[in-house]
Amino acid sequence: MSVPTTLRCLVRPSVPRHVPRQVAVVWAAPFSTTASLAANPPKKKASAQMASIRSGKKMQLGKFKKKAPGGRTGKSPLPGERKAVRKRIQLSNSNALPVPGLAELTSEYMADKVNAGTVVSLPGTVQDELRVIEAFKPTQYWGMFRNPSMLVRSETVDLIGRMQDSAEKKQTLKLVVSGDRLTGKSMLLLQGMAHGLLNEWIVINIPEAQELTTASTEYAPIPGTDPVQYMQNNYALKLVQAVRKANEKTLTRLTTAYSHPELPQNIPINSTLMQLANSAKEADSAWYVFHALWQELMAKGQGRPPILLTLDGLQHIMKVSDYRSAAYNPIHSHDLALVRLFTDCLAGNHQFPGGGAVLAATSRGNAPRVPSMELALSQRAAEQAGAEIPKHDPFFRDYDTRVEASLKKVQVLKVSGVSKLEARAVMEYWAASGVLRKTVDEATVTEKWTLGGHGVLGEMERASLLTMRP
Amino acid sequence: MHPKLNIWSACRALSVRSRPIFHWPQQCTAAAQARSIWIDSPSTSQRFPDQNASNLHPFDVSPSAQEPAPSENDVALSQLQMAAYGLDPFDPEVEGHKFGMPSLPLPRDLHHKHRYDSVVVQLTKLLMRDGKLSKAQRDMAMILNYLRTSPPPKVSPLRPLLPGSPAPSQLPLDPVLYLTLAIDSVAPLVRMRAYKGMAGGGRSLEVPVPLEARQRRRTAFQWILDVVNKKPTKGSGRAMFPNRVAEEIVAVVEGRSGVWDKRQLMHKQGTAARANLNNPQLRKKGQ
C-alpha cells in the first residue's frame, strides 16, 4: 500500500457518511410475514443499469415514430344501448311521397287471387301489433317509404289460401317456407301474421330462433320431467308479454277452462285469458304462465280461435344447442321446452282445437347447415312435386332422427323470384314514393328484374333503391 | 336497280296492308309505355292503384292466351313480303332485339365502370380504407340512405349554400344532389403553397394556388372525415361510421359544422397572401 493512501485512512471524514437505517418495522406474528409483506412490498432498488438510462429518452430504431396511445374519450354507451341502436326499426320516412289510393289491407285481401301482384299498405293497428311481435326485421327497407306497404305475390295468395282452408276445416297447417337468400321468406311469414291478426287468430311469433339455442338466454331444468326438459324463463316472459299485447282483443274475449294451481297467482276458472297472461310479471314463473296459456288455447270445446305459430330461422332449432346439461353434456334443441312445443306442433302432435297454422321459415343469411333438415325438406318437396324422393347419403352418419321425425308431415313452400308483372307493381310503388327516380317501363323493369337474379326481391331492392350497390 | 331506290316500291310500302307484314315480338311495349309513370307527373296518383287492380295480376295475363303464336310459314311469308317492299327482313333494328338497339354514343351511365355519379365515386374512394372498396361502397350507400330518410335540413342564412341550389325540402329525395351540394358548398377555392426560403431570411413564401373541382371536393371531404374521426362512437355495427359521416354532412348543410371555419380560414390566408404573387423571386422562377 502506498503512503498517501495509508495516510488518508487516518484522516477523519469531514462529511459524515449517511448510513441508511432500517425504518420499516413490521409488527406481526413472528411465524408469518406474508400478509404484511404483501401489504408493504419492499421497493425494488434501482439497479446500476437502470440508473444509466436517461429518463424520457429512447433510442429510435424504426423510421417512423409510434403514436402515443390515445384512449377513447367521452362516456361509453350503456349496456344494451348499442344493440338497441343497431336493431332499431324505422317504419316511416316523412320525406317519401305518400302514394294516394293505395289499398289498405283487410281481412280477406290477401286470400283473393285477383289481388296477387298488387301493393297493399298495412293499417296502423296491424303495424303496432306486428311491431310488438317483432315481425319486422331491421334489414328490410321499411324506413324508406311513407307508410309500410308490401307486395302481395302469388306465393302469398297460395299461403293465405292454405291457412284459410285449414282454419275452416279446423285443421293445422304445417308449412316450412324455404328458398334462396333475400327471396322474401320472412316477408311471407309477416304476411301470414298480418292475415292472422286481421282475422282474430292468436298469433305467437318467435322472431329469431337463434335467440333460443345460442345460449344467450337463461335456462333451467323443469323439475319432474324425464328426460329432462329445460325452460327459458326470460325468453318466455318476453314471449308472453308480446303475445298479450298483440292479441289483446282476442284474449280478453276468451275465458279459462282449467284451474292452474302451479301458478303463483290464483286464476279462477272462467277468468279471461288476458288475466292469465297478465300474471306473467316476473321471469321466475313466466314459463309456467306460458305453459298454462298454451294449455288453455289447446282446450277443446271452448270455442278457441285459430292459432298461428311462426318461427324464423328454422335451422337453429334443428341442431344440438349451445347449452349444456348439469353433467356438461350438450343439450339437443328439442330438449328445450319452448322449442319442443314448436317442433311438436310442426310434427303434428298437437291438434289446434280451432284449427290454425304452424309456419317456419328457413334462413340463408345466418344459419348453420343442418343436413337432416335439408334432406327432409327436399324429400317433402319431392313428394309434393311427385318427383323421385332423395335418399340418405350412405356415407354420412350425422343425420338426426329427431329432426327428421319433426319434419315428416310438413308442406314445403318454395319461394323464388317474383314474376315481371309483380316486379312492375312493386317498382311502380317505389317510383310513386319518389325513391326510385326512373321511368318504370318495360325496359327498366326487365333491367332490374334481371339484375336481381330473375326477380329476387331483395336483390331488386338493392339494385334499385340503393344509389350505390356494393 | 336496288329495290330501295325504286320510287314505286316506296309507294307500295305506303299502301294499306290488310294484315301485319311482320309479327312484332314486343307485344306489350306500347301498352307498357302508355302505362309508364313519371315520378313527377300529376296523373301518377290516379293511375297507380287502378292499374294494380285491373292489369297487374299474373293469373289472367298470359301472352299465349291473347294471340296464338305465328307459324314458321307465316313468319317466312311476312319476311318475303318485307323483301318485296324493299325492307330488309333481317335488319338488326327490327329482328332479334326485344328492346331495340341502343342509341350511340352510349350514355355515360350505361358503361358499367362509370355507372355511378362521378362525385359519389370520388368520395367513395376517399372513404375507402385498406383497399376495401366494397365496404366503402356499402358505407356510401348507407350515407345516402341516411340523407334520404333524415328530415329536410334547415339552411342557415349565415352559411349560404351554392347559389341556385334547390329548396331544402327537395334535397332528401335526391341524396346524390344533397351530398354534392354539401361538399361543393364548403369546398375551398384555393390552397396555400409555400416556397421555401423565398421570402428572405429563410422564411417560406406563402402563395395561394387555385384548385380544380376534384381537388376542391377532395379537400372538403377530407376535412369532413377529420371531424368525423374525432367524434366519439355512438354504437356498434356497420351503420355507425356512415351515420356519423352523414350527420356531419347534414351539419354542413345546416351551417353547424366546423368545416365552414376551416374554409373561411383558408380563404382569409389566401386573401392575405395574394400580394405575394407579385414577389419578384417568384416571377423570376416562373420565367
Strands A118-121 vs A149-152: parallel, antiparallel or unpaired: antiparallel
B35 residue type, one letter: R
Residue closest to A365 by CA, chosen among A312, A418, A293: A312
**Cβ atoms of residues B190 and B209 within 8 Å:** yes
Per-residue pLDDT of B130-189, as tens digits, reads 999 999 999 999 999 999 999 999 999 999 999 999 999 999 999 999 999 999 999 999
Is B80 strand, coil or helix? helix
A102, A431, A436 ranked by CB distance to B49: nearest = A102
- Cα separation values, A76 from A84, A85, A110, A264, B234, Å: 14, 14, 47, 40, 8
**Percent of residues, chain A, with pLDDT higher than 70:** 85
Q: Would the CB atoms of B52 and A421 count as touching at under 8 Å?
A: no
Within 8 A by CB and 6+ apart from B72, the residues are none
Lowest-pLDDT choice from A38-52, A265-279, B8-22 = B8-22
Q: Would the CB atoms of A77 and B57 count as touching at under 8 Å?
A: no
B50, B56, B137 ranked by CB distance to A470: nearest = B137
Q: How far apart are CA B166 and CA B86, in angstroms?
A: 53
State the average pLDDT for chain A. Answer: 89
pLDDT at A214 over 50: yes
Per-residue pLDDT of B223-244, as tens digits, reads 999 999 998 877 667 778 999 9
Is B190 strand, coil or helix? strand
Grid coordinates given for B216: 376542391
User: Nearest CA to CA, how far is B73 from chain A (Å)?
Assistant: 29
What is residue B56's predicted lDDT score, i.e. its pLDDT?
A: 37
Per-residue pLDDT of A10-24, as tens digits, reads 655 555 455 445 444
Of residues A82 and A103, the one with the higher pLDDT is: A103
The DSSP symbol for B205 reads E
Residue closest to B141 by CA, chosen among A464, A297, A30: A464
Grid coordinates given for A44: 425494488
What is residue B244's predicted lDDT score, i.e. its pLDDT?
A: 93
Q: How far apart are CA B138 and CA B123, in angstroms?
A: 12
Q: Would the CB atoms of A82 and B49 count as touching at under 8 Å?
A: no
Residue closest to A125 by CA, chosen among A242, A278, A207, A247: A247
Segment A98-109 mean pLDDT: 95
A86, A439, A468 ranked by CB distance to B235: nearest = A86
What is residue B30's predicted lDDT score, i.e. its pLDDT?
A: 39
Strands A230-231 vs A220-221: parallel, antiparallel or unpaired: antiparallel
User: Nearest CA to CA, how far is B174 from chain A (Å)?
Assistant: 8
The DSSP symbol for B28 reads T
A96, A116, A442 ranked by CB distance to B57: nearest = A116
Task: Give the distance from CA A162 to its chain's centroid.
Answer: 27
User: Nearest CA to CA, how far is A189 from chain B (Å)?
Assistant: 21
User: Nearest CA to CA, how far is A427 from chain B (Å)?
Assistant: 10
Per-residue pLDDT of A194-209, as tens digits, reads 999 999 999 999 999 9
Instruction: Point out the residues of chain B with pLDDT beneath 70.
Output: 1-67, 92-95, 235-236, 287
Per-residue pLDDT of A284-338, as tens digits, reads 999 999 999 999 999 999 999 999 999 999 999 999 999 999 999 999 999 999 9
Q: How far apart are CA B252 and CA B155, in angstroms?
A: 9
- Which residue carries 418495522 as its cell? A25
Question: What is the three-state SS of chain A?
Answer: CCHHHHHHHHCCCCCCCCCCCCCCCCCCCCCCCHHHHHHCCCCCCCCHHHHHCCCCCCCCCCCCCCCCCCCCCCCCCCCCHHHHHHCCCCCCCCCCCCCCCCEECCCCHHHCHHHCCEEEECCHHHHHHHHHCCCCCCCCHHHHCCCCEEEECHHHHHHHHHHHHHHHCCCEEEEEEEECCCCCHHHHHHHHHHHHHHCCCEEEEECCCHHHHCCCCCCEECCCCCCCCEECHHHHHHHHHHHHHHCHHHHHHCECCCCCCCCCCCCCCCCEHHHHHHCCCCHHHHHHHHHHHHHHHCCCCCCCCCEEEEEECHHHHCCEEEEECCCCCEEEHHHEHHHHHHHHHHHCCCCCCCCEEEEEECCCCCCCCCHHHHHHHHHHHHHHHCCCCCCCCCCCCCCCHHHHHHCCCCEEEEECCCCHHHHHHHHHHHHHCCCCCCCCCHHHHHHHHHHCCCCCHHHHHHHHHCCCCC
Backbone torsions φ then ψ of A324, nearest 5 degrees: -125, 145
Q: Radius of gyration over alpha carbons of chain B, in Å?
A: 30
pLDDT at A95 over 60: yes
Taking residue A69's Cβ as centre, other Cβ atoms within 10 Å add up to 5
Compute the count of residue pairs across chains A and B with CB atoms less than 8 Å apart.
Answer: 143
- Which residue carries 291438434 as its cell? A351
Nearest CA in chain A to B30: A442
Within 8 A by CB and 6+ apart from A420, the residues are A445, A446, A449, A455
- DSSP letter string, B222-276: HHHHHHHHHSPP---STTHHHHHHHHHHHHHHHT--THHHHHHHHHHHHHHHGGG
Interface of A with B in 144-163 (CB under 8 A): 144, 154
Q: How far apart are CA A201 and CA A195, in angstroms?
A: 8
A318 residue type, one letter: M
Of residues A351 and A1, the one with the higher pLDDT is: A351
- Residues of chain B in contact with residue A417, where contact means CB-CB under 8 angstroms, are none
What is residue A49's predicted lDDT score, i.e. its pLDDT?
A: 57
Per-residue pLDDT of A346-381, as tens digits, reads 999 999 999 999 999 999 988 999 999 999 999 999
Q: Would the CB atoms of A467 and B116 count as touching at under 8 Å?
A: yes
What is residue B218's predicted lDDT score, i.e. its pLDDT?
A: 98
Q: Would the CB atoms of A116 and B49 count as touching at under 8 Å?
A: no
What is residue A58's predicted lDDT score, i.e. its pLDDT?
A: 67
Q: Which of B27, B54, B57, B61 to mutate to test the interface with A (most CBs of A within 10 A)?
A: B57
Nearest CA in chain B to A84: B235
Residue closest to A196 by CA, chosen among A142, A160, A234: A160
- Residues of chain B in contact with residue A429, where contact means CB-CB under 8 angstroms, are 48
Q: Which domains does chain B have, with CATH numbers?
A: 3-34+47-103 (no CATH), 118-286 (1.10.455.10)
**Cβ atoms of residues A263 and A285 within 8 Å:** yes
pLDDT at A404 over 50: yes
What is residue B37's predicted lDDT score, i.e. its pLDDT?
A: 32
Of residues A80 and B61, the one with the higher pLDDT is: A80
Within 8 A by CB and 6+ apart from A380, the residues are A176, A407, A410, A411, A412
Segment A451-470 mean pLDDT: 92
pLDDT at A126 over 80: yes
- Which residue carries 301489433 as its cell? A129
